[in-house]
Amino acid sequence: MDQRELTSRVSALQKAINDKEPAANVITIMETLKRDVNATEELLRATKAGMVVAKQRGNANKEIAKLATEIVTKWKKTVEVEKEKRKAKQMASGSSPAVRSNGTSSPAPAPSAPVTKAFKGDSSKRRWETDKVDTKRTGLPTRDACIGLMYNGLAFKCEEPPTHVIIKAMAVEQAAFDHFGGETKEYKEKLRSLFQNLKQVSNTQLRKRVMSGDIDPARFVVMTHEELKSEEMKKKDDALELENMKKAQVPMAEKSISDALTCGKCGQKKVSYSQAQTRSADEPMTTFCECQVCGHRWKFS
């Protein structure tokens, strides 16, 4: 789709929204944008398509809002990949040797490895700083810091190239920003919680599912604490719950309070007691006592 046609589609979308046409009409136009637009930074800027579609992420119609989020995420990813490809190409082509003050030339610095290659190294120590990724994407310090936080969580024990990780981190931050209505307390707390779950060594599947798109960003930012747990943690919790249930089902001897028993420690006569058969059936039962005043405990048969 060229610039003229995209401008026409964007105008049609804006008109459908302003005229409050049926949601089906708006969705039809948006679906063509999602399917047919090969986004570039120049194209989106010239047609203002990104701005118009992005506004619909807050549309009252959930289907329109969801589709708008998908389109914006797709376009951002396409633009980002294209940028990184150009950068890698420029680096790979190298530059002319620099001329020293003495007239001799010094070798140009070795080109950096293309950022789309799989990560090599200790993936458990990956961070945006060491991956040399620019996280200043929004111009807002808090949001940019959260993008970096998501990058560090998603990159943990991940072999995906930095380009893929930063695109996903940006999409997750954007989804949280949209869902929580800006840089709210809930927005910050949720992203910290997601980071902590991503950084759990046993949560490999969560990281893989988010990076692969099996869990999309909009879904990821609303997942509950229980849903975010690793399978290993869920099994441990289930085992603990079962153990607690078994303990709760063990019959406890009913306690009675008597004024016939005297506490040997404080001399008060407010003593609770229970009896249990601790030896053979023909032996006397054991009486367990507890003073309700000082807490002293004793037993006798």
Predicted confidence at residue 281, as pLDDT, reads: 67
Please say if the pLDDT value at position 91 is more than 70: no
Q: What is the reported pLDDT for 246?
A: 63
| 226-270 per-position pLDDT tens digit | 888 877 777 777 777 677 666 655 555 567 888 888 999 999 999
Is pTM, for the whole model, over 0.85?
Answer: no
Q: Which one, of 1, 5, 89, lies nearest residue 39 by Cα?
A: 1
pLDDT band of 100, cuts 50, 70, 90: very low
State how far the Cα of 185 lies from the Cα of 146, in Å rounded to an integer. Answer: 13
With 90 as the cut, is the pLDDT of residue 192 above it? Answer: yes
Least confident of 66-75, 108-117, 138-147: 108-117
Give the pLDDT confidence score for residue 6 in this predicted structure. Answer: 87
- Domains for the chain: give ranges and CATH numbers: 3-89 (1.20.930), 123-233 (no CATH), 256-300 (2.20.25.10)
Kindly list the distances between the CA atom of residue 232 and the CA atoms of 130, 209, 211, 237, 239, in Å, as whole numbers in the listed order. 30, 16, 20, 9, 11
- Residue 136: count other Cβ atoms within 10 Å of its Cβ: 12
What local confidence, expressed as pLDDT, does residue 98 receive?
Answer: 44
pLDDT tens column, 139-166: 889 999 999 999 999 999 898 888 899 9
- Residues contacting residue 298 through CB under 8 Å, at least 6 positions apart: 264, 289
Query: Is 159:122 a contact under the CB 8 Å cutoff?
Result: no
Q: For the residues 198-222, what does the mean pLDDT come to?
A: 91
Residue-wise pLDDT tens digits, 2-25: 888 888 888 889 888 998 888 888
The answer, yes or no, to whether residue 218 has pLDDT greater than 60, is: yes
Give the per-residue pLDDT at 230.
77
**Rounded CA gap, 99 and 105, in Å?**
4
